[in-house]
Structure 1
Amino acid sequence: MYRLLVSLLLLFRVECLQLSNCNHTEVTLLRDTELLTTLTLRNCSLSHLENAFFVRFGHLLQMELQYSGLNDLEDFSLNGLARLQSLSLSHNNLSTLRSWSSEPLGALTSLDLSYNAFRRLRSQGFALFPQLQLLDLSSNQISEIDEETFHGLSHLKHLHLNGNLLQRIDGSSFQGLHRLASLSLQHNLIERIELDSFETNTHLRSLRLDQNLLTSLPFLSQRGLARLVHLNLSNNQVKSLEPLGFSKNFELQSLDLSYNKLINLTKEALSGLDSLERLNISHNSVESVHTDSLETLVSLLQIDVSYNQLSTLPETFFNANTQLEEIMFGHNLIGQLPPLALAHQSHLRLIQFTGNALTDVDFLQRLPASLNRLSLHVDLSSNRLRSIDLASLRQFRYLNLADNSFNCGWLIENLVRELPTSVNFARPWSVLNGWNDDFKNIKGVDCTEGDTNRSIILLNAAEVSQYKTSKCECAQTYDEANPSPPPLTWPKIPTDRFDSRSVIIWMLAAIALAFAGLRWLRRFVDRNEGRKGGMKALNNMYVDKGEWQPQRNNNEIHSPP
């Protein structure tokens, strides 16, 4: 089968070739493929490639050699690929990084070496790839980056080093990468980053440092990160933010500090972030925030401070953030919000305070008149609300009040009213179904009556009645000791399994057939009567003719003239 494929290849001269489960010998049989521009080899047995192995593929533009157990390439294995633009050697067992060519691969712009076994990046290891724009070294075992490793890569824009064993970033690690736009360093063991590590990366727009072991962030104050737009520092060990630590990140729009160990938010912790639009400080241990900690974030659209230890918020906390669209403070310890806390937010679309200890919602009554309430989602579930004024909250697009401690009398009074579907009191429950001894998912409402906690189960009465009727045993029992005659009933008439509509249709059809039959019978009778009348008239006419004809005797007929 494979030889047939090779023969067809030689006959038709294809431009794109994909081979799987091949071996070294079979690849060498591919000759005279001058028009071949794309070559994909997957799950092949190619553990070693000798020098000039691909010299016959001089017109290749893209090549993938993946999942093939590749352990080693000789120094000049890639010779002859002067036109190659994209090369992927991912998911192999390569451990030593070399250029694998005696001449520069001047057309190569994308190199994927992910999921291999590299441990160290040596100096000028990529010197023969001067036009490289994307370099993927993720999911290796790299723990060291030598000085000038990326020397000569002046066009490199995207560098992926995530999923390795890096412990520190030196000042010379990324030196000279003036056009670097995105750098991925997540899922490493980085504990320290030197101050001048990104000094020359003045075009860096995205930096990922999540899933590391950082405890402080002094490197952020350097001017090299002035054009940074996206910064992810989640899942580290940061305990505090230095004052003015972000003062040089002028263009930062997204900042993720979730899953750290932050305790408080000081006044100048976020100073200088005038362009910040999304701030995530969730899953920390924040106990207090300064009144003016968000004062400089005039472009803020979304803030997430859920899963912390906040017990209160200052009344003027959001005064400077008039563009806010989403506020998420769920799962804290907030017992009361100042009535004017959201009085300046006219663009809100989401307010989430689920899992707190709120006892009133006065802050919702003070929302600005210019706010479009028809597009507002409010989640106040799992708090300590006992009663609220629903009159001004009905127009919200969605209001979640489930799992609160409402007064039972107040709750029943409001439940019997016709509430809009946008207001939700119920939470899902799983209860034991008494009719079939099985668990059934239903909805219920929690309430309190005095010091007693109660629950109201919401069921569809029509469904319950129908279900119970279909399950009950309605047959009469027979008492042998006191037999009684059966009740007088009309005999059962067997009926077809037609519904009422079918019965009506058939009845109308039968009536129509009856009328048609009667009409035909009437016509038949009229036709017979007409025929009999015609015969009688004909007979009368013959009789009349006989009477009118003159009579002659025989003598007159035979007498001579």
Structure 2
Amino acid sequence: MCRGMLSKDSPPLPLLLLLPLLLACHVESLQLTNCNATQLSELNDVATLNALSLSNCSLQQQLKNAIFLRFNQLLSLELQHCQLNSLEDYALHGLSRLQRLSLAHNNLSVIKTWSEKPLSALTSLDISFNTLIQVAAKSLMHYPQLQQLNLSHNLIEHLEAECFHNLSHLKHLQLHNNRLQLIAASYFHGLHRLSSLSLQHNLLGQVEPAAFESNTHLRTLRLEQNHLRDLQFLKERGLARLVYLNLSRNSLEKLSAQEFSKNFELQHLDLSYNQLKEVNNESLIGLESLERLNISHNIVSHIDADSLQPLSALLQLDMSFNLLSSLPAELFHANSQLKDINFAHNQLQELHPALLHQLMHLKQLNLAQNQLEDASWLQHLAPALNRLALRVDLSSNRLQSLNLSSLLFFEHVQLADNRWNCSWLVRHMLRTPPASLNFARSWPMLSAWSVKELLNIQGVDCFDGQHNRSIVLLDVGTARLAMGSNCDCEEPKDELATLTPPLTWPKIRTDRFDSRSVIIWMLVAIALAFAGLRWGQRFMDRKERSRKLQKVNEHHPLNKVELEAQRLRSDRERS
């Protein structure tokens, strides 16, 4: 009747409320909090229970033998935040159907089978957030079907040889946030189906060259936040099918020649937050499938003209926060698929007009926080480029003026915090700029001289020689009129002291071919078209009648008088 009422995602209920419910119906999933071992043993009718989750339960810090013997139909078991220090040798005995086991957030320091017989159905094991110091040899061999293993957030310093023995089906292994200093060649030997490996946030200073030799199906490898200084292990054949590689936040100072020559399927490479100084022509050879490259937050001051040539499939490039002062004109000549380019926070002073000429799919261009003084290169973009989808960030540079007409059809152009020339700004920005151009600060126009407004107003910054100015438009005439209307003093008799005329916007010439003329000409055109159709219809009717008369005359010859009379009658009918 109430089978499946308590699911895994149901909110936890007090045990006293659950006991009557369990007596009255069969459930498939049960979640308990703040319980103890005695209450767990008193649960009745649990033969149909498939999933059991215990959280913040007091189980006497050591799980007793055969405590789950009656729960022999369990497929999923979670024992989290239960302050478990250990499990007796047969604590999980009887769970022959168990597929998922989580012992996360406890104080376990040893991994065992915890069952008289191997848990041959177990596919997922989570022992994260415990106090494991090492993984002993063959400690996991009684989980032959294991596919996911989470050992993250422990204190693991060492992995013994053959610690992953008999795990030939393992696909996902998580070892991040531990204290590993070395990846030996024997650690992952035999894991032929391993697909993802997480080793980030460790103390790794060395990875032996043959460490991944047998992991030919590895697709994701995360090594960020370690102390790696070289990448020699990438030259081995084991990582040929790697798709995602994260080497961020290490101690890499250079990229050796052909270091990625075996990673021809790699699509995402993250080298950010290292100490790289240059990118040469041989640094990225072999990355013909690479789509996303991140070399931001390094100290790169030089990049060779052909360094990106092997990356024919590149879609996204991030080289922000480096020390680049110039870019070769031929840098992107082989990267026509690029969509997103980020060179923000460098020292670029100018860009060659031909730099972006081949990029027909460009959508994002970030050049903020550089030293650019000229933006004429924006007029030399690829002719086939869809400018309506292009977003450009030129904020915090040294631009003094721009050809605004060349930017009107961009999706968005960020122009904040530049050194605009005051004369140019007044001459070209008197009208409100298009919404696609963002100066980050409004150019307000005050209609009254209230002290509050004058003290809080901020205009567009500009530079006139060595002076830093901020332009604000004031409607002086309106303000003085408002002040004069409240004054009881006499009118000044000096005719020269007239009010300053209010600021008016320049008049824009309009074409005299207004909307009424358009309507009149449209009506004339419609009348002409209707008359033409009427004439055409009459012409076709006349031709058809003539054809019929000729056919009748062939079968019944008429004299000329009758034919003439018939023609006259036809003419009268048409009129």
Normalised by the length of structure 2, the TM-score is 0.77
**Structure 1 residues 239 and 453 mapped into 2: Cα distance closer, same or farther (>3 Å)?**
same
Say if 2:458 and 2:470, in contact at 8 Å, map to a contact too: no
Q: Which residue of 1 aligns with 2:92?
A: 78
Matched, 1:413 2:431: no
Measure, in 2, the Cα distance between the counterparts of 1:62 and 1:457. Answer: 68
What secondary structure sits across from 2:388 in the alignment? helix
Picking from 40, 59, 72, the partner of 2:53 is: 40
Picking from 261, 274, 287, the partner of 1:247 is: 261
What secondary structure sits across from 1:406 in the alignment? coil
Q: Which residue of 2 aligns with 1:62?
A: 76
Q: Which residue of 1 aligns with 2:495?
A: none
Say if 1:264 and 1:289, in contact at 8 Å, map to a contact too: yes
Q: Which residue of 1 aligns with 2:164?
A: 150
Q: Which residue of 2 aligns with 1:379?
A: 393
Q: Report the CA distance between 1:144 and its aligned residue.
A: 0.5
Q: Give deviations 1:99-124, integer Å, cap 9, x for gaps.
A: 11121111111111110110100001
Measure, in 2, the Cα distance between the counterparts of 1:83 and 1:434. Answer: 79
Picking from 383, 393, 397, the partner of 1:369 is: 383
**Structure 1 residues 443 and 453 mapped into 2: Cα distance closer, same or farther (>3 Å)?**
closer
Q: Which residue of 1 aligns with 2:143?
A: 129
Q: CA RMSD in A?
A: 2.4
Say if 2:93 and 2:115, in contact at 8 Å, map to a contact too: yes
Picking from 458, 461, 468, the partner of 1:446 is: 461
Say if 1:41 and 1:65, in contact at 8 Å, map to a contact too: yes
Picking from 314, 327, 330, the partner of 2:328 is: 314
Measure, in 1, the Cα distance between the counterparts of 2:140 and 2:379. Answer: 63
What secondary structure sits across from 1:351 in the alignment? strand
Measure, in 1, the Cα distance between the counterparts of 2:37 and 2:75. Answer: 21
Q: Report the CA distance between 1:457 and its aligned residue.
A: 5.1
Q: Report the CA distance between 1:52 and its aligned residue.
A: 1.3
Q: Report the CA distance between 1:24 and its aligned residue.
A: 1.2
Matched, 1:270 2:284: yes
**Structure 1 residues 32 and 407 mapped into 2: Cα distance closer, same or farther (>3 Å)?**
same
Measure, in 2, the Cα distance between the counterparts of 1:4 and 1:147. Answer: 49
Picking from 2, 8, 18, the partner of 2:31 is: 18
Q: Which residue of 1 aligns with 2:556?
A: none
Q: Which residue of 1 aligns with 2:213?
A: 199
Q: Report the CA distance between 1:434 and its aligned residue.
A: 9.0
Q: Report the CA distance between 1:374 and its aligned residue.
A: 0.2
Amino acid at match of 1:23: N
Measure, in 2, the Cα distance between the counterparts of 1:402 and 1:375. Answer: 20
Picking from 259, 272, 287, the partner of 2:273 is: 259
Matched, 1:398 2:433: no
Q: Which runs of 5+ in 1 are unaligned?
A: 478-561
Amino acid at match of 1:175: H
Amino acid at match of 1:357: Q
What secondary structure sits across from 2:260 in the alignment? coil
Amino acid at match of 1:38: A
**Structure 1 residues 383 and 271 mapped into 2: Cα distance closer, same or farther (>3 Å)?**
same
What secondary structure sits across from 1:391 in the alignment? helix
Measure, in 2, the Cα distance between the counterparts of 1:18 and 1:439. Answer: 62
What secondary structure sits across from 1:378 in the alignment? strand
Matched, 1:289 2:303: yes
What secondary structure sits across from 2:470 in the alignment? strand
Amino acid at match of 1:450: G
**Structure 1 residues 144 and 407 mapped into 2: Cα distance closer, same or farther (>3 Å)?**
same
Matched, 1:338 2:342: no
Measure, in 2, the Cα distance between the counterparts of 1:272 and 1:82. Answer: 48
Say if 2:15 and 2:32, in contact at 8 Å, map to a contact too: no
Say if 2:288 and 2:313, in contact at 8 Å, map to a contact too: yes
Measure, in 1, the Cα distance between the counterparts of 2:450 and 2:117. Answer: 80
Work out which of the two has the higher radius of gyration on C-alpha atoms and give 1 or 2: 1
Q: Which residue of 2 aligns with 1:230?
A: 244
Measure, in 1, the Cα distance between the counterparts of 2:250 and 2:455. Answer: 42
Picking from 445, 455, 470, the partner of 1:455 is: 470
Write the mapping of 1:469-488 to structure 2, written as runs, cut at 5 A. Answer: none
What secondary structure sits across from 2:406 in the alignment? coil
Moved segments of 4+, more than 4 Å: 433-440, 474-477
Q: Report the CA distance between 1:439 and its aligned residue.
A: 9.7
Measure, in 1, the Cα distance between the counterparts of 2:17 and 2:368. Answer: 66
Measure, in 2, the Cα distance between the counterparts of 1:96 and 1:385. Answer: 63
The share of aligned pairs that are identical, in percent, is 52
Q: Give deviations 1:241-279, integer Å, cap 9, x for gaps.
A: 111000000100000000000000011100000000000
Amino acid at match of 2:366: Q
Q: Report the CA distance between 1:418 and its aligned residue.
A: 4.1
Measure, in 2, the Cα distance between the counterparts of 1:2 and 1:107. Answer: 30
Say if 1:135 and 1:158, in contact at 8 Å, map to a contact too: yes
Measure, in 1, the Cα distance between the counterparts of 2:210 and 2:458. Answer: 58
Amino acid at match of 2:49: L
Write the mapping of 1:541-556 to structure 2, written as runs, cut at 5 A. Answer: none
Matched, 1:8 2:28: no
Normalised by the length of structure 1, the TM-score is 0.79
Q: Which runs of 5+ in 2 are unaligned?
A: 1-13, 444-448, 489-575
Q: Report the CA distance between 1:14 and its aligned residue.
A: 1.6
Measure, in 2, the Cα distance between the counterparts of 1:185 and 1:434. Answer: 63
**Structure 1 residues 148 and 371 mapped into 2: Cα distance closer, same or farther (>3 Å)?**
same
Q: Report the CA distance between 1:363 and its aligned residue.
A: 1.6
Q: Which residue of 2 aligns with 1:92?
A: 106
**Structure 1 residues 50 and 317 mapped into 2: Cα distance closer, same or farther (>3 Å)?**
same
Say if 1:192 and 1:214, in contact at 8 Å, map to a contact too: yes
Measure, in 2, the Cα distance between the counterparts of 1:449 and 1:256. Answer: 44
What secondary structure sits across from 1:27 in the alignment? helix
Which range moves more in the overlay, 413-422 or 21-30?
413-422
What secondary structure sits across from 1:386 in the alignment? coil
Measure, in 2, the Cα distance between the counterparts of 1:45 and 1:475. Answer: 81
**Structure 1 residues 457 and 285 mapped into 2: Cα distance closer, same or farther (>3 Å)?**
farther
